[in-house]
Structure 1
Amino acid sequence: MTLAPPPSALRRALLLSAAVSVSTAMAQTGPTTNARVLKVAAPWEIGSLDPSKTGYIFTRLEVTETLVDVDASGQLAPGLAVRWAVSPDQKTWRFALRPGAVFHDGSPVTPEAVVRSLQRALAQPGILKNTPVQRIAAVNGEVQIELKQAFTALPAFLAHNSTQVLAPASFAADNSVQAVVGSGPYKVVRVNAPQKLETAAFEGWTGKRPAVQRVEYLATGRGETRGMLAESGQADLVFTHDAVAIERLKRNPRLQFHTLPIPRTLYLKVNAAHPLLKDIKVRQAISLAIDRPGIAQAILREPKAAATQLFSPGMAEWHVPGLQPLVRDPGRARQLLQEAGWVAGADGLLRKDGRPFKLTLRTFSDRPEQPPMATAIQAQLREVGLDVAVAIMNASDIPAGHQDGSLELALVARNYALVPDPIGSLLQDFSPQGGDWGAMGWQSAQVTSALESLSTTNDPARRSRLRGALSTVLQAELPLIPVAWYQHTATHSKRVGNVSIDPLERSYRISQITWGL
């Protein structure tokens, strides 16, 4: 049963009340210094201090650093490592550290400290496990990484937030993370998990001293509440707005609105081993039932966001212009389902051998467009006879459902630039075992081979052929069903200046922000 929402004015009043309560709580728990505080609101809870789980929060807030960074154009740049080199056989990499770098507890950033963090990252579930790293050691004042085989994308993997470098004091005796002691321009002052995090400028930072000296981060799951925090001036920098609020936020004279396409795709994660989904005709029928232009226009308010393939045009190297585009064709969808043995009953819903076609589509509300998008997909699938229930859950229920096999369908969003080379995400998503946010119950020898070759070659022509072959297989077999290309949104108050939005979502760039009014 769907409950009608309260009247708009009442709903906004309730949300404003909640926003005031949240802001008051933040003020009551803040440090006692009189410095101005930059208040940041985003959907993402602080579920853990472990870099392998929610490390992105600490890199975005510039608390921690990685060996390799990424510049504004998306190219690899120095991070904690000022330079790196690889041996002629491409199997040994050496990274020279930034002179004078110190952790927030005053201890030096040594090769040994970096090695400990990277060895721990290698042992955890995460991006580094998908590399052929054989040994990480401190050698002659540098960090040396030895590989089992050539892997040209290694520096890009070392820019991922799960490889962030922490001080030895961050780790407990059992090697768990007990505190986040990084080396960035901001240090952690207080963590009130899962919602609040306070930072302050680090006095030992050797770079340019930031204008913003104090930051309060608030994880706010409801998009409407984030919008009210922005409109009421109780948050200075707010990320990920409800699409329905965009026009109102744009008209607000106290706010600067930002929107930009980023290399993130919204898609259906499919359990291809499920009895109802293992037939490729069924997956193709689901894809044909989806009205991508309608969803892009009505929910995302951006017609260009309708996905015709997995990778957006902004990912120039991976987007394949000549690929047969994904389209809507309900008639063809019904035909394919009939060919797969599914027959409509009196209620219009499909059955096969007496079994109804019933599935559950999981999604989560951290990204506010996903629940209404899931509901729209539910209605479109019902038009061709597929009975799909929508379950709004926690984001963690998606990988949990992958691991225990209970997941059937999920609407998720995947950022292909978390590792600057998309190969980092693809090796996770399309390994023979699948990935928490990628393929499930599906594998392809051709895709596996293409990914292995892409990770070991720099030849442009060969890389282009391999990318085209990989995209062609994914488009045909649909282990993931693309729906839309993501549009990132953010607002900032006029009391701050020099705000820029990172299209790769690596950093909130707080150290660059200046105070205005």
Structure 2
Amino acid sequence: MRHPSPARSQTAVVSPHGRSRSGPRKWRAVRMISLLAVSALAIAACGGGTGSSDAGSFDPTAILKYGVPGNPTSFDPRLSAPLDPVFLDVVYESLIKRSPAGELGPGLATQWTFSNDNKALDLTLRQGVVFHDGTPFDSAAVVASLEAFRKSGAQAAALKPITKVEARGPSAVHIEFSAPSGYMLNILASEPGMVVSPKALNSPDLGTKPVGTGAFQLTSLVQGKVTFTKFDKYWNAAATSIGGIEMTVFADEPTRLRAVVSGQVDGTTIGPGQEKEATTNGLTVVKGPNAQIDGLLLNTGDPIFSKPLVRQAMMYAFDRKAISDTLFSGNCTPAVQPFPEGLWPNVPELNNVDKYHDVAKAKDLLAQAGYPNGFSTELVNGPNTTYTNLAQAFQAQLAEVGITAKVKTLEFNQMVSDRRTGKFSGAVSLLQVGRPDPSQFVTDFYLPGGSYNPGNFNLPGVSDLLAQSRASGDEKQRQAPMRQIFTNVFDAGPTVIPVCSVIWVAAFKKGVTGMQVPKFGDYDFASIKIRR
């Protein structure tokens, strides 16, 4: 996808594909919706969705029963965790819409224009939209949400480049940035761009009583179950194909899969190694690559992991192919960098991972770091089966190079909290590397003050390269500085030790169609159809 570049005219408008075009022609949201519908059908036909063969026989009042690994951390976007969009996308909408396939298009903003230097952005807002509490959506609501998100919470870092937000009429918002920020469309297509009802924004209950403009509204939130019902006043309610969603928590993948087989739920995400079991039981499997990795997050606040040679040694400790074959049936692509092949920040020179499993070299690097006999540490992991098994695999392979790792399993929300606050030495993690924008991964993990950089790891030159990559929205212009960042960090001993790029896999009962692979963690439940 491409966005307006600094070379474009100030009067450029955005086409349905996210590309800028000079001239007065205005593209309307209805055309974008049509194109997205065609795109969704094409994706389904290629195996990226559950298909559409049952079109015309679905029940628009049916409730989708969907299995999830845990309760939401919070429905307040300022307090949400990286894996919460599966809940947030149900009730909120962002200013820019990003489809599950990763394409940008009109959301709560139908048009946008960057200034010539990409330091200002003007948004034209969708009209006729109301929040779940009946409050009309307008520019004042957008300004209120952006200003609140800038002040504190999980989205503040992503919105830090914003210096000014102002309403310029009921349906117009003007945003200014401290530096050229063509990449900001991706930010506004994620949690930082979600708009909360002004009446609910400062409510202490927002975390459990969200008020957005989305296709569904929350009706019940208890431990182990979250339910939503269709919002009849949704601006595109006619395109919503189900009557509601019931999300039930099952902490581990085997239990979730059994719930689908037994009919307790209609669908859920499963482990890549469970695909054969799912198809054997007559389920429809949806799978595809997405911007997530499994790996080990190191806290450089720990004196041991502050040493580059130790981090370099750990890069050579893991047999990634064995982990993929054993734990994921080969469906987790071995990787030593955050972004897989096919995503623009990927560094081609690092795609051959075979040479990065070398026990002798790992031991030699540890000796150079002052640990000829290795050292002891602790790895924390979340409660589901995949990460318990992954932690045990890491433990066994680290032992081969002389590192004794104690494994500690944490409850889901405790794992999220400890990872953010730095109460760990090593964390076995699933990391979303492309949301809200690939450059945010750099800010969060590689820059001092980053949300997931408790040890304040800092490498000279990264900030300058990041600024170069963020100036433009054109991926071709952004690619070289981003690749250089990942090359430099790799050479210095990364704080994130990737093991494999995740293949997203879900299983559904026959008759449930329309689910698309969320490439960057964006979910569209409104397009799912159910035949009862």
TM-score class normalised by the smaller sequence: 0.7 to 0.9
Q: Select the residue among 186, 202, 212 that pairs with 2:242.
A: 212
Q: 1:469, 1:166 → 2: CA distance?
A: 37
1:469 alignment partner AA: Q
Query: Which residue of structure 2 aligns with residue 200 of structure 1?
Result: 229
| 1:92 lines up with 2:109 in the alignment | no
| 1:388 lines up with 2:388 in the alignment | no
Q: Select the residue among 436, 447, 455 that pairs with 1:440.
A: 455
* Distance 1:402-1:415 versus aligned 2 partners, 3 A rule: closer
Q: 2:73, 2:321 → 1: CA distance?
A: 35
What is the CA-CA distance between 1:292 and the residue it aligns to? 0.4
What is the CA-CA distance between 1:230 and the residue it aligns to? 0.7
Residue pair 1:170, 1:178 contacting (<8 A) in 2 also: no
Query: Which residue of structure 2 aligns with residue 333 of structure 1?
Result: 362
1:360 alignment partner AA: E
Show the 5 A alignment for 1:42-121.
42-54=68-80, 56-61=85-90, 63-121=91-149
Q: CA RMSD in A?
A: 2.4
Q: 1:168, 1:178 → 2: CA distance?
A: 16
Give the aligned length: 464
Q: 1:174, 1:231 → 2: CA distance?
A: 40
CA distances 1:427-475 after superposition (whole Å, capped 9, x unpaired): 2222222332x57341112222211221124576653321221121121
Q: 1:483, 1:223 → 2: CA distance?
A: 20
2:349 alignment partner AA: G
Q: 2:447, 2:350 → 1: CA distance?
A: 23
TM-score for the superposition, normalised by structure 1: 0.84
| 1:149 lines up with 2:184 in the alignment | no
CA distances 1:214-239 after superposition (whole Å, capped 9, x unpaired): 22112221222211111101101212
What is the CA-CA distance between 1:124 and the residue it aligns to? 2.1
Query: Which residue of structure 2 aligns with residue 138 of structure 1?
Result: 167
**Unpaired runs of at least 5, structure 2:** 1-59
Q: Which moved more, 1:90-99 or 1:457-466?
A: 457-466
Q: 1:458, 1:217 → 2: CA distance?
A: 36
Q: 1:452, 1:391 → 2: CA distance?
A: 38
Show the 5 A alignment for 1:407-422.
407-419=424-436, 421-422=437-438
* Distance 1:40-1:312 versus aligned 2 partners, 3 A rule: same
Q: Secondary structure at the match of 1:361?
A: strand
2:525 alignment partner AA: I
Query: Which residue of structure 2 aligns with residue 161 of structure 1?
Result: 191
Q: 1:79, 1:324 → 2: CA distance?
A: 35
Q: Secondary structure at the match of 1:342?
A: coil
Q: 2:273, 2:346 → 1: CA distance?
A: 29
Q: 1:402, 1:252 → 2: CA distance?
A: 37
Residue pair 2:143, 2:165 contacting (<8 A) in 1 also: yes
Residue pair 2:133, 2:211 contacting (<8 A) in 1 also: yes
Q: Select the residue among 257, 261, 265 that pairs with 1:235.
A: 265
User: Relative contact order: is structure 1 or structure 2 higher (C-alpha 8 Å, sep ≥ 6)?
Assistant: 2
* Distance 1:47-1:201 versus aligned 2 partners, 3 A rule: same
* Distance 1:406-1:496 versus aligned 2 partners, 3 A rule: closer
2:294 alignment partner AA: L
Residue pair 2:63, 2:245 contacting (<8 A) in 1 also: yes
Residue pair 1:285, 1:332 contacting (<8 A) in 2 also: yes
Q: Secondary structure at the match of 1:489?
A: strand
| 1:302 lines up with 2:330 in the alignment | yes
CA distances 1:200-219 after superposition (whole Å, capped 9, x unpaired): 11111232342311221122
Q: Select the residue among 302, 306, 318 that pairs with 2:345.
A: 318
Q: Secondary structure at the match of 1:217?
A: strand
TM-score for the superposition, normalised by structure 2: 0.81
Q: 1:181, 1:406 → 2: CA distance?
A: 33
* Distance 1:177-1:488 versus aligned 2 partners, 3 A rule: closer
Show the 5 A alignment for 1:22-37.
35-37=61-63
* Distance 1:229-1:281 versus aligned 2 partners, 3 A rule: same
| 1:481 lines up with 2:507 in the alignment | no
Q: 2:418, 2:156 → 1: CA distance?
A: 23
What is the CA-CA distance between 1:80 and the residue it aligns to? 0.4
Q: Select the residue among 182, 185, 190 that pairs with 2:212.
A: 182
Q: 2:213, 2:184 → 1: CA distance?
A: 22
Q: Secondary structure at the match of 1:257?
A: strand
Q: Secondary structure at the match of 1:322?
A: helix
Q: 1:406, 1:497 → 2: CA distance?
A: 42
Q: Select the residue among 438, 444, 450 that pairs with 2:465.
A: 450
Residue pair 1:363, 1:370 contacting (<8 A) in 2 also: yes
- Misfit runs of 4+, over 6 Å: none
Residue pair 1:137, 1:144 contacting (<8 A) in 2 also: yes
What is the CA-CA distance between 1:74 and the residue it aligns to? 1.7
Q: Secondary structure at the match of 1:51?
A: coil
| 1:279 lines up with 2:294 in the alignment | no
Residue pair 2:292, 2:432 contacting (<8 A) in 1 also: yes
Show the 5 A alignment for 1:492-511.
492-507=508-523, 509-511=524-526
Q: Secondary structure at the match of 1:129?
A: coil
Q: 1:174, 1:230 → 2: CA distance?
A: 36
* Distance 1:277-1:128 versus aligned 2 partners, 3 A rule: closer
Identity among equivalent pairs (%) = 24
Residue pair 1:101, 1:206 contacting (<8 A) in 2 also: yes
Residue pair 1:127, 1:424 contacting (<8 A) in 2 also: no
What is the CA-CA distance between 1:143 and the residue it aligns to? 1.7
Q: Which moved more, 1:100-109 or 1:317-326?
A: 317-326
**Unpaired runs of at least 5, structure 1:** 1-33, 345-349, 351-356
What is the CA-CA distance between 1:308 and the residue it aligns to? 3.4
CA distances 1:239-274 after superposition (whole Å, capped 9, x unpaired): 2x2444332112112x10122121111121112242
Residue pair 2:239, 2:527 contacting (<8 A) in 1 also: no
Residue pair 1:128, 1:157 contacting (<8 A) in 2 also: no
Q: 1:83, 1:135 → 2: CA distance?
A: 19
| 1:39 lines up with 2:56 in the alignment | no
1:444 alignment partner AA: L
Q: Secondary structure at the match of 2:482?
A: helix
Q: Which moved more, 1:454-463 or 1:77-86?
A: 454-463
What is the CA-CA distance between 1:515 and the residue it aligns to? 2.4
CA distances 1:95-125 after superposition (whole Å, capped 9, x unpaired): 1111111112222111111211111111122
Residue pair 2:445, 2:495 contacting (<8 A) in 1 also: no
* Distance 1:151-1:271 versus aligned 2 partners, 3 A rule: same
Q: 2:370, 2:127 → 1: CA distance?
A: 67
Q: 1:175, 1:303 → 2: CA distance?
A: 41
